A and B are shown apart, each in its own frame.
Chain A
Amino acid sequence: MANGAGWFDRFVNSLPERGWFKSLSNIVVVPFWAAVDPRPKLPGGPRPSVQPSESLQRMMNLIMPLKNKSPVGRAMAAMVISQNIDEIFTGLDNVGTIHFARFIIIDDNLCMLSVYDGDFSNYIRDFIVAIGNVFDGILSQVEGGDDVIPTRDNVDKFIDWVHDRDLFQLPDFATDIFALQDAAMGRPANSAAHKLDELPRAMILQLKANPNFSLGGGYRGYAGLSVAQIRQKFGLGW
Chain B
Amino acid sequence: MSFSVGEQLFESVKRPDGPTPEDKLRPVHTYGIGAYGVFKASTVAKNFCNALHFRGPQIPVTVRFSNGLGCMAQHDSWSDPRGMATRFYLSEKGENEIATDLIAMTLPEYFTPTVDTFLAFAEMAKPTPYRRESAWRKIWDLLNLKIPQPDPNPGEIISPYEGAMAFAGLNDFSKYSIYQVSMIGAPVSYARAAYHAVHTFIVTGQDGTRRWVRFAWTPTVGVLPRDQNEKPQDHYLAHELRDRLSKGAVEFCLMMVIGEVGDDFADSSRPWGSQRQRVNMGTLTLQTVADDQITDCERLSFNPMRLIDGIEASDDPLLLARLQTYEASRTARDGASCPFSRS
Contacts and interface: CB of A to CB of B under 8 A. Distances in A.
In the complex, is A directly touching B at CB under 8 Å?
A: yes
B172 A190 contact: yes
Contacts of B258: 224
Contacts of A181: none
A217 B146 CA distance: 26
A118 B261 CA distance: 16
A179 interface: yes
User: Most A CB atoms within 10 A — which of B142, B145, B151?
Assistant: B145
Given A15-B139, A29-B145, A178-B175, A196 B278 contact: no
Nearest to B259: A51
Contact of A172 (B147, B154, B274): B274
Given A2-B131, A3-B154, A29-B143, A199 B179 contact: yes
B275 A8 contact: no
Contact of B175 (A30, A172, A196): A196
A194 B274 contact: no
Nearest to B156: A3
B169 A200 contact: no
Interface residues of A, number: 48
B176 interface: yes
B147 A200 contact: yes
A15 B142 contact: yes
Contact of B275 (A13, A53, A204): A53
B119 interface: no
B165 interface: yes
Interface residues of B, number: 41
Nearest to A46: B275
Given A3-B152, A174-B179, A192-B172, A197 B277 contact: no
Nearest to B275: A53
Contacts of B152: 3
Contacts of A225: 277
Interface of A: 2-3, 5, 8-9, 11-13, 15-16, 29-30, 33, 49-54, 56-57, 172-176, 178-179, 190, 192, 194-201, 204-205, 216-220, 223-225
Interface of B: 131-132, 135, 138-139, 141-147, 151-152, 154-157, 165, 168-172, 175-176, 178-179, 182, 258, 260-263, 271, 273-278
29 contacts: A2-B131, A3-B131, A3-B155, A5-B132, A9-B132, A9-B135, A29-B143, A51-B260, A52-B260, A52-B261, A53-B276, A56-B275, A172-B273, A173-B176, A173-B271, A174-B179, A175-B176, A176-B176, A178-B175, A192-B171, A192-B172, A195-B165, A196-B175, A196-B182, A199-B147, A217-B274, A218-B275, A219-B274, A223-B278
